[in-house]
Amino acid sequence: MANLLNHTFTTPFQTAPFSAIKNEDFLPAIQEEINKTKAEIDAITSNTDAATFENTIEALEFSGAQLDRITSIFFNLNSAETNEEIQKLAQQISPLLSEFGNDIRLNEALFKRVKTVWEAKDTLSLTKEQKMLLDKTYKGFARNGANLPEDKKAILRGIDKQLSQLSLKFGENVLAETNAFELHITNIEELKGLPESTLEAAADEAKSREKEGWIFTLNYPSYLPLMTYAENRDLRKKMSLAFGSKAFQGNDHDNRENVKQIVRLRQQRAELLGYKTHAHFVLEERMAKTPETVNSFLAELLEKAKPAAEQEFKQLSNFAKEEDDIEQLQKWDGSFYTEKLKQKLFDLDDEKLKPYFKLENVINGVFTIAEKLYGLKFEETTEIDKYHSDVKTYKVVDENNNFIAVFYADFHPRKGKRNGAWMTSYKSQYKKDGENSRPHISIVCNFTKPTSSKPSLLTFNEVTTLFHEFGHALHGMLANTTYPSLSGTSVYWDFVELPSQVLENWCYEKEALEIFAKHYQTGEVIPMEYVEKIKESATFMEGMQTLRQLSFGMLDMSWHGINPTHIEDVKNHESKVFDATRLYPETPETCMSVAFSHIFQGGYSAGYYSYKWAEVLDADAFEFFKEKGIFSKEVAQKFKDNVLSQGGTENPMELYKRFRGKEPQPEALLRRAGLIEKK
């Protein structure tokens, strides 16, 4: 029987036919599409006509379209709805794709044609986007070994194959450790301080596991409320140490050797290609350009943030001493006393705010804001197939009812879904044969589930997370480029967080909050005093928060910005790096690197700094909105025309300057964070 994955989907908008796909379809379908793509590549290389932009660069760009569709479906499922069978398949499919990628990048005849076009680029009349595609295509080969002699190409292939397997293994270990832990409590006295909604969710979790009492897990919606509200310090300690020791327990899921192997292989790969370190290799294709730029950027922010962070830590320590006679503040005390002090200073806590943030209202709110800014309308539809009943599906149209995108939203934790929140795509936007083929975009989050007595009520942090991921989604949905590899979020990594982070700013604005922050029982709009307090408390402990982010960026650079081959002890290395940002006492039982999925599984290696980098951009960009009004059509249009629709078609700094009229200034971020005086 024909495998439906190998054919154009006949579903509405050609969406993924999830319910008709069986796990066993993936491997043969991918093998077949690899063969078809190889035939497309052969057609390019055997073309007797001279190499041109159209018959080589464009032909290569549009090859393997169905392979891209299938693999995006497969790997998105592996993140959002995985099981043992899919994980086993991933271990087979990843090396296949890695090998195939190398077959293309190390194909001499193909590279020869690409190089011919690239060397003639100054004589060709190409658009900016075509120039970018040509540059990206050539570098895709050169940066992956096309200029290497045969023996070194073979070494490179081996490294890439190992890296793809190690990174999968790393992620599986973290997920296995997350799923393996449960804190089972049968005495309600131990859970003093926890909100009713958290207790109800923990009781539901216990019931689902056929146990009495309450169960807490290392998934964020379970873990964070316990760390924030549980008065029982021993319980907080137990959870904190369990969370911090994931993949660091000397068992089958220990990631220490994986970390060392990954960084050594990355270094070896960089050297093979003529770069000093992995960071030098990565940053060549980023706005920052060099490790030196990144390190001085992090050092500058550290210098500004550290005095504030130390002051805040002292304030928090004194408060814990007054409250509960705590002699030494520990990591597991941080969230608890920060929340207590915040309540004391601002009389504001998540439990007061949550009734105003019913998930459905927040979703409608972010949709309304997207409509006000960009003229988009979101129509929920049942005609689009889903991979899980939790998923909501939408058809997105503009003010003239033109079809813009398909949007999937998946909000609640479940066993087969990794922690955290992310945006992804099932199909890129591109233009071909006179048609503008529109994208299929998805956001995946892990928000508190509805319980038997309450709908899903979000913490304010979850509200900003939803806005963040939706900002990425807008970048994907509003894409309007010719080539799929330059479309949507296919931009320099330190630019990709701008659309997501800038949208978070609306969560703090009265005009925006009045749209969606309504009490789920009474419909009452959030009181103005709460809005004021949200704004005031937004920069509460910002110094400590900044220090924490900087410590992650510095840890990342310490693994990738130097030659790591001498590093024997993962924990010891990490501790030395954290010395510069350390506030809490060291905990020998925990290690962050072994569960730092962003850099060892998620593509952020030598790139974690980009969160802070993009914050500079977003603070500067939002000051522009504030100047003209947060729903200014003029500024929104400029942002859409120069950032959201342009993808990676030009150098991001050029796009940014066209939107803003000037380069971004770090002062905007420091002002917003309260680390320097507002002007």
Residues 6+ apart with CB under 8 A from 335: 224, 227, 228
Q: Residue 505 has what DSSP assignment? A: G
Answer yes or no: 469 catalytic.
yes
| Burial class of residue 26 in the structure, from the number of CB atoms within 10 Å of its CB (0-12 exposed, 13-18 middle, 19+ buried) | buried
How far is the C-alpha of 280 from the C-alpha of 282, rounded, in Å? 6
Percent helix / strand / coil, the chain, rounded to 5 = 60, 5, 35
Spatial distance between the Cα atoms of 306 and 583, rounded to a whole number of angstroms: 10
**CA nearest 346: which of 518, 530, 200?**
530
The single residue listed with the structure tokens 């002090």 is 341
Of the listed 469, 497, 615, 623, which one is catalytic? Answer: 469
How big is the CA angle at 529 (ends 523 and 531), to the nearest 5 degrees? Answer: 75
Q: Return the structure tokens found at 205.
A: 């979790």
CA distances from 64 to 41, 71, 334, 518 (A): 9, 11, 50, 47
Distance (Å, whole) CA 302 – CA 288: 17
Buried b vs exposed e over 165-202: b needs ≥16 C-beta within 10 Å?
bbbbbbbbbbbebbeebebebeeeebbebbbebbbbbb
Per-residue exposure over 588-608, b if at least 16 CB sit within 10 Å of its own CB, e if not: eebbbbbbbbbbbbbebbbbb
Give the number of residues written for the chain.
679
Question: What phi, psi does 544 have (nearest 5°)?
Answer: -65, -40
Q: Kindly report the backbone phi and psi dihedral angles of residue 394, in degrees, each rounded to the nearest multiple of 5, phi listed first.
A: -135, 145
- Catalytic amino acids? 469
